[in-house]
């Protein structure tokens, strides 16, 4: 009799353990979501851990299971380095995420951050391009917009698009330095950029032809339709 009771208890214990194990396996299955992330570029900001954190969050998994994918998109789009995230299922019902990242146009040294085309500041978590223009010193939000406008204008110019090396503000006036020329440029602001760039290009060509005879420490483009060159 005692043996029977003991056997019965052992059987009950084994059954309970099997049942608990099944629940654990089921819970683990329920908490896993398979997905593939595609980048329009090459994951410039190393933001995959942030994406994984969102996709493995329990409440977000529930959104995915009931196909409320727009809720996940909204959270992915809050990642500062992501410009746009699209999450969808393909014909085989596989979950995919398309990520378009923000394009960095300058490195903001003071904040150890990048600046994108919209003026958004993105904290750096890995080094990107050495050739990005360098923004020095403290800069207000209003001046960030000036920097973006100036960099856009340089990028669109066939002669100057690879020349911009660094930018800084002095008493709220914008100064620039080009890669191929020794002089500083007192640009002032982002007004009349086309005219300023035309005058700058003309002076650069003149300087290339006469660099052995004349040296300059600064050129000023703050005066209306005038370029003033200051010799060393």
Task: Quote the pLDDT of residue 43.
Answer: 78
pTM to 2 decimal places: 0.77
- Walk along the chain (232 residues) and give the pLDDT tens digit of each residue: 555 455 545 555 555 554 444 433 434 434 578 899 999 877 788 888 999 999 999 999 999 988 899 999 999 999 999 999 999 988 888 999 999 999 899 999 988 899 999 999 998 876 666 679 999 998 898 899 999 999 999 999 999 999 999 999 998 899 999 999 989 999 999 999 999 999 999 999 988 887 666 688 999 999 988 898 888 8
Backbone angles phi, psi at 212, to 5 degrees: -80, -20
Task: Quote the pLDDT of residue 95.
Answer: 92
Backbone angles phi, psi at 85, to 5 degrees: -125, 135
Task: Quote the pLDDT of residue 175.
Answer: 97
Q: What are residue 121's DSSP bridge partners? A: 115
Q: What is the CA 75 to chain-centroid distance, rounded? A: 16
């Amino acid at each position: 009799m005692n043996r029977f009771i003991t056997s019965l208890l052992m059987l009950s214990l084994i059954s309970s353990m099997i049942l608990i194990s099944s629940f654990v396996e089921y819970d683990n299955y329920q908490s896993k979501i398979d997905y593939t992330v595609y980048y329009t570029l090459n994951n410039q900001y190393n933001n995959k851990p942030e994406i994984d954190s969102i996709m493995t969050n329990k409440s977000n998994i529930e959104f995915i299971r009931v196909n409320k994918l727009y809720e996940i998109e909204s959270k992915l789009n809050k990642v500062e380095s992501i410009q746009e995230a699209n999450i969808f299922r393909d014909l085989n019902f596989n979950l995919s995420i398309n990520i378009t990242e923000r394009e960095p146009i300058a490195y903001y040294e003071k904040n150890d951050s990048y600046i994108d085309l919209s003026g958004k500041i993105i904290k750096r978590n890995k080094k990107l391009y050495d050739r990005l223009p360098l923004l020095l010193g403290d800069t207000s939000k209003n001046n960030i917009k000036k920097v973006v406008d100036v960099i856009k204008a340089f990028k669109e110019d066939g002669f100057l698009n690879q020349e911009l090396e660094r930018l800084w503000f002095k008493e709220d006036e914008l100064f620039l330095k080009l890669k191929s020329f020794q002089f500083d440029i007192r640009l002032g602001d982002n007004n009349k950029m086309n005219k300023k760039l035309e005058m700058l290009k003309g002076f650069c060509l003149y300087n290339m032809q006469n660099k052995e005879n004349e040296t300059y420490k600064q050129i000023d483009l703050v005066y209306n339709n005038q370029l003033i060159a200051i010799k060393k």
